[in-house]
Structure 1
């Protein structure tokens, strides 16, 4: 394993112990957050016919839900920084449950937009962001692996929810299915209960970082317990910095990540949202169409922890941004080639390829952000990133639906998504190369300054070698009057 990077938390994360229980809770929470909007697409064809709406109209349900999940990032960040991850995740589970139960009584598509999209989406944001943040409090050396395992919750839950939703619909209809799903989402409250603050969940290995007293991690060791940075000027300044760190907009690596991801998300979700409808459009039966999501999810659940292990190697971790750039580009290529997928067998091959690409992107998505800004600033960073990304997340699937409505074919939707992601991957690769070069140049300059200071110190020591051990200079001759006299000069 590569040497662990430095931590900016004020203590050394335990990299295990109760942290693995926290990863399991994050696995559940993240699984619902990412899988649920995709799994709901099973009901889209029937809801579309029930309300007599177009493809683009029905696509707004998942789109609004995903957008609300991302738009709620800043609010979630503030709440996490103030109260910690546990109560926020539990509140999110309650919101999601209530949203689906109330949606089951809806009589208009607008009612579903508000309940499933807005309320449910904000509930998912309270599940997602705190789960990502708390992993950085418990892990450092093993953080890519922990993130990969937690993010694997999405494909695992998707593989289970896709056939479950088809079964529920066949057995109960979409209204009663929504009611049952609301009860199922309350399990997020259980996941939140597992997310102990780092002071309560320490496991025999967490110590303070160098320069501080040794011992166990205090309850206020992480920012959720309102830790103050040394040298803070006043209480109000510290409070503001804990709510949201806007200085990140001066961080070069953060800005590159933000721009690249904002472009990427415009085409990221549309192919997943329309995968089952695309298969049905080609004449595939309903259960076989739903199984494509399960196939994608099965590959995805292997790709995410596998990518985490790969990213944690000594060859990849120092340049993890390149791996992320490749994953985004590969995702774009898969979508550009998708129109060639004619027939169920070729659709299975497309689902397998997209599952690998999708899993790689998702496994690295937040690990790369934490690699850039550090664990201390991650909560603010993910809040700022998600609120910017909510616009492309909101517009991507409906724009894809409009293209389907206009041309009567899914080909142009896949072309749009693939081209956007391919361009984003190339942008990230080029800009990350430039950023790494600048960082290396900065490191060389700092190293050169240190070496120069060391040479000056050694030179001063050599010059002082002629001086006496008692702190006086060696005698020197001065001509005074009739003869030479010796005079001793003390050192300055």
Structure 2
């Protein structure tokens, strides 16, 4: 885990300037990536009735989209390493738009899985990962704040899309809404055009150091002449030997089984209790509004000198808070209770999202982040894919939402506790390794000084003998 105050990029990131424009572009790109699958839940009840499918089958729509977004992570990493963030994000925007337009002509739920889920999900992957990577090339000292601001795009876009989707459905039906949304997602292409590569001024170094010097976006053109496989060139598999990375990965696999289902079923849960469509959609807006303010605040707190050196504990607290929140949901009565749950959930979820990738970058360093996020997302696609459908299957089996929320609470609370324990162990080991390193340096310094002292003593003895003679 590299010290937070030290950059290993081989250049000094600007920590501002055009970087703030890049943060705004990432705000849009990340916003659509995370908010779009959630906002589509507004159409679920109507699509479910239109195609006469079960809760579990309709839940697959968001799951396939999110899973495709995560599964395409390594592909996105390779493209970013080869071509940079700008063209990848622009292609991603075109793919999402194409998927939504094709879905508007859908004749079956399978058709929607392919168009919205697979094509749209791949497009979102090409929006998400490059936006996260490029922030690490522009920022170091202010990176938690920059990540927090960029991640705020998700609740801002969600708070806008949730009521907009309900309005579009009332005016044009779900087919017309999908067609219009396909055009709206083309704004990701505009965001991608703003992601200008950072200007780096470094001294000429040997090729073997090029990957560390140039960072994730320019590494591949340098190493492409080397005789190594495509996987070794673009994806750093040595991360599977990295202690902190493995802790992060194991905890996240469990966490992602329960992280999205409560959002996917929030509006349907409200409608199940007899709440009207607009009030149900308003819950997503309330959730997103709270989330909107929590993310930058979390980034600001995470950037303080007390929190940043031990930011993994802050992340563990945020994950645990989500678990407690889901346990409370079935106990809060009526619409007022759901509003309270949406607000608490917005705080907990916003903290996790603001810290999710910052903690990964803190563990592996900015220069290895592109490979790390690609490996994480491909492994996480399984729980992302299965989580909501399993929750939907529980609803079909029990006909009661409380069992789903209790299960999600357990799936968030357990990894939160795991992160506390294992990061305590990791920090302890890192401190021990640092002490051993410091001791070795001191011993080497002492050994190097011994010959010099002996030489001085010999010279002094020679001079004394000359005087005596």
Q: How does 1:88-487 map to 2 (within 5 A)?
A: 88-199=88-199, 208=202, 221-226=214-219, 235-237=226-228, 241-468=232-459, 473-476=462-465
Whether the 8 Å CA contact 2:144–2:302 is kept in 1: the answer is: yes
Structure 2 match to 1:481: none
Structure 1 match to 2:62: 62
Whether the 8 Å CA contact 1:137–1:198 is kept in 2: the answer is: yes
Q: Secondary structure in 1 aligned to 2:227?
A: helix
* Runs of 5+ consecutive residues of structure 1 not aligned to the other structure: 200-205, 213-219, 478-484, 487-492
1:174-211 per-position Cα deviation (integer Å, ceiling 9, x unaligned) = 00000000000011000000001112xxxxxx6549x9
Please report how far the alpha carbon of residue 12 of structure 1 lies from its aligned counterpart in structure 2 after TM superposition.
Answer: 1.0
Structure 1 match to 2:209: none
> Partners in 2 of 1:125 and 1:416 — Cα distance?
28
Describe the shift of the 1:423–1:293 C-alpha distance in structure 2 as closer, same or farther (beyond 3 A): same
Whether the 8 Å CA contact 2:104–2:179 is kept in 1: the answer is: yes
> Partners in 2 of 1:379 and 1:352 — Cα distance?
33
Q: Secondary structure in 2 aligned to 1:379?
A: helix
Whether the 8 Å CA contact 1:89–1:189 is kept in 2: the answer is: yes
> Partners in 1 of 2:39 and 2:231 — Cα distance?
39
> Partners in 1 of 2:16 and 2:198 — Cα distance?
11
Structure 1 match to 2:208: none
Whether the 8 Å CA contact 1:165–1:177 is kept in 2: the answer is: yes
Q: Secondary structure in 1 aligned to 2:94?
A: helix
1:408-465 per-position Cα deviation (integer Å, ceiling 9, x unaligned) = 1100110111101100111111111101000000001111112222333445444444
Structure 2 match to 1:489: none
Q: How many residues align?
A: 460
Q: CA RMSD in A?
A: 2.1
> Partners in 2 of 1:395 and 1:122 — Cα distance?
18
Farther-moved stretch of structure 1 (96-105 vs 276-285)? 276-285
Whether the 8 Å CA contact 2:4–2:309 is kept in 1: the answer is: no
> Partners in 2 of 1:71 and 1:234 — Cα distance?
28
Q: Determine which structure has the larger helix proportion and give its number.
A: 2
Please report how far the alpha carbon of residue 333 of structure 1 lies from its aligned counterpart in structure 2 after TM superposition.
Answer: 0.7
> Partners in 2 of 1:22 and 1:37 — Cα distance?
23
Describe the shift of the 1:254–1:457 C-alpha distance in structure 2 as closer, same or farther (beyond 3 A): same
> Partners in 2 of 1:473 and 1:361 — Cα distance?
71
1:291-345 per-position Cα deviation (integer Å, ceiling 9, x unaligned) = 0000000010111000000000000100010000110011011011111122011
1:80-116 per-position Cα deviation (integer Å, ceiling 9, x unaligned) = 0000000000000000000000000001000000000
> Partners in 2 of 1:362 and 1:35 — Cα distance?
12
Structure 1 match to 2:210: none
Whether the 8 Å CA contact 1:72–1:122 is kept in 2: the answer is: yes
1:49-72 per-position Cα deviation (integer Å, ceiling 9, x unaligned) = 001111011000001000000000
Whether the 8 Å CA contact 1:221–1:227 is kept in 2: the answer is: no
> Partners in 2 of 1:321 and 1:223 — Cα distance?
23
Q: Secondary structure in 2 aligned to 1:226?
A: helix
Q: How does 1:75-90 map to 2 (within 5 A)?
A: 75-90=75-90
Please report how far the alpha carbon of residue 166 of structure 1 lies from its aligned counterpart in structure 2 after TM superposition.
Answer: 0.4
Farther-moved stretch of structure 1 (3-12 vs 446-455)? 3-12
Whether the 8 Å CA contact 1:85–1:195 is kept in 2: the answer is: yes
Please report how far the alpha carbon of residue 235 of structure 1 lies from its aligned counterpart in structure 2 after TM superposition.
Answer: 1.3
Whether the 8 Å CA contact 1:324–1:365 is kept in 2: the answer is: yes
1:210-256 per-position Cα deviation (integer Å, ceiling 9, x unaligned) = x98xxxxxxx9444233688xx8971239654411111101010011
Whether the 8 Å CA contact 2:56–2:390 is kept in 1: the answer is: yes
> Partners in 1 of 2:128 and 2:358 — Cα distance?
14
TM-score by length of 2: 0.94
Whether the 8 Å CA contact 2:216–2:370 is kept in 1: the answer is: no
